[in-house]
Structure 1
Amino acid sequence: MISPDNVELSLRNLSLDNTSNCSGSDNEESKILKWNLPLKDLYRLACNFYKEKSGKAIHLSYEDNLKLVAFTQQAAHGPLDPAKAPPLGMFDVIGKDRRIAWQHLGTITKLQAMEGFIDLLDRLCPLFKPTVEAIKKDREEKVRQAQAEEAHRREQLEKEKEKLVELKRIEDERNREEIQRRQLQDALNQQTYHQFKEYAEKQFPGNPEQQAVLIRQLQNEHYHQYMQQLQAQVASNYSQLRATGDNEVDFSGNQLLDQNASSKEVGQLEYKEQCDSDEESGEYAVINPANMWTKPDVKLFKQEVTSGKGDGVIRVGHGDIITVRVPTHEGGSCLFWEFATDNYDIGFGVYFEWGKPVTTEVSVHVSESDEDDDTLEDDEAVCADDLECGGQQQHKQYNNTSSSSPLANSNPISIIVPIYRRECQTEVYAGSHSYPGEGTYLLKFDNSYSLWRSKTLYYKVFYTR
Structure 2
Amino acid sequence: MAIMSNVDISSQITSELSRCDINSEKSSKNKSIEGKWGLPLSEVYKLALNFYKEKEGKAVQLSYEDKLQLVAFAQQVSHGPLATSKVPPVGALDVVGRDRRLAWQRLSDLSPDQSRIGFVSLLSRRCPHFEAYIEAHRRENEEKQRKAQEQALRDLERRKQREEEEKIEREIRAKQEMEEVARRKVQQALNEQTYDQFRTYAEQQYPGDPERQGDLIKQLQDQHYLQYMQQLHATALSNNIIQQSTDTTGDEELPSEEQNTEDNYFEGIAQASMWTRDDIQLFKEIVSKSEGDGVVRVGHGEIVTVRVPTTVVGTQLFWEFATDHYDIGFGVYFEWGTPTTDQVLVHVSESEEDDEDDDDYGDGEYLDTLQHTDLETGAQVLRRVNNTPMLSEIVPIYRRDSHLEVYVGSHTYPGEGCYLLKFDNSYSLWRSKTLYYRICYSN
What TM-score do you get using the length of structure 2 for normalisation? 0.59
Structure-2 separation of matches of 1:174 and 1:210: 32
1:416 match: 438
2:327 match: 322
Contact 1:88 1:96 in 2 (8 A): yes
CA positional deviation for 1:121: 0.5
Structure-1 separation of matches of 2:160 and 2:239: 43
For 1:354, the aligned partner's letter is V
2:427 is aligned, of 404, 414, 419, to 404
CA positional deviation for 1:234: 1.4
2:245 match: 243
CA positional deviation for 1:398: 4.4
Structure-1 separation of matches of 2:437 and 2:103: 119
Instruction: For residue 438 of structure 2, give the secondary structure of its aligned residue in structure 1.
Output: strand
Structure-1 separation of matches of 2:179 and 2:349: 49
Structure-1 separation of matches of 2:27 and 2:71: 25
1:73 pairs with 2:78: no
1:201 pairs with 2:203: yes
CA positional deviation for 1:170: 0.8
Contact 2:26 2:114 in 1 (8 A): no
1:186 match: 188
Contact 1:203 1:290 in 2 (8 A): no
Structure-1 separation of matches of 2:210 and 2:318: 21
**In 2 relative to 1, CA 181–355 (structure 1 residues): closer, same or farther, beyond 3 Å?**
same
1:436 match: none
Instruction: For residue 327 of structure 2, give the secondary structure of its aligned residue in structure 1.
Output: strand
Contact 1:202 1:289 in 2 (8 A): no
Contact 1:71 1:114 in 2 (8 A): yes
Structure-2 separation of matches of 1:406 and 1:223: 38
Structure-1 separation of matches of 2:97 and 2:121: 24
**In 2 relative to 1, CA 43–111 (structure 1 residues): closer, same or farther, beyond 3 Å?**
same
**In 2 relative to 1, CA 228–71 (structure 1 residues): closer, same or farther, beyond 3 Å?**
closer
Instruction: For residue 396 of structure 1, give the secondary structure of its aligned residue in structure 2.
Output: strand
Map 1:204-223 onto structure 2 (within 5 A). Answer: 204-223=206-225
CA positional deviation for 1:127: 0.8
Q: Work out the number of aligned pairs and report it.
A: 316
Q: Deviations over 1:130-164 (max 9, x none)?
A: 11121122122222222222222222122111111
2:376 match: 372
Map 1:43-442 onto structure 2 (within 5 A). Answer: 43-245=45-247, 267=269, 278-279=309-310, 322-323=327-328, 354-356=346-348, 372-374=376-378, 377-378=396-397, 384-386=409-411, 388=412, 395-398=419-422, 404=427, 416=438
Instruction: For residue 198 of structure 2, give the secondary structure of its aligned residue in structure 1.
Output: helix
Q: Unmatched 5+ residue regions in structure 1?
A: 23-28, 247-264, 270-276, 282-286, 293-310, 315-320, 326-351, 359-364, 408-412, 419-465
Instruction: For residue 372 of structure 1, give the secondary structure of its aligned residue in structure 2.
Output: coil
For 1:130, the aligned partner's letter is A
What TM-score do you get using the length of structure 1 for normalisation? 0.56
Aligned residues: percent identity?
A: 36
Tell me the C-alpha RMSD between the 2 structures.
Answer: 4.6
Q: Unmatched 5+ residue regions in structure 2?
A: 249-266, 272-307, 331-343, 351-357, 361-373, 380-394, 401-406
Structure-2 separation of matches of 1:18 and 1:377: 103
**In 2 relative to 1, CA 213–279 (structure 1 residues): closer, same or farther, beyond 3 Å?**
same
For 2:346, the aligned partner's letter is W
Structure-1 separation of matches of 2:79 and 2:310: 119
Comparing 51-60 with 66-75, which one deviates more in the overlay?
Answer: 66-75
Contact 1:394 1:414 in 2 (8 A): no
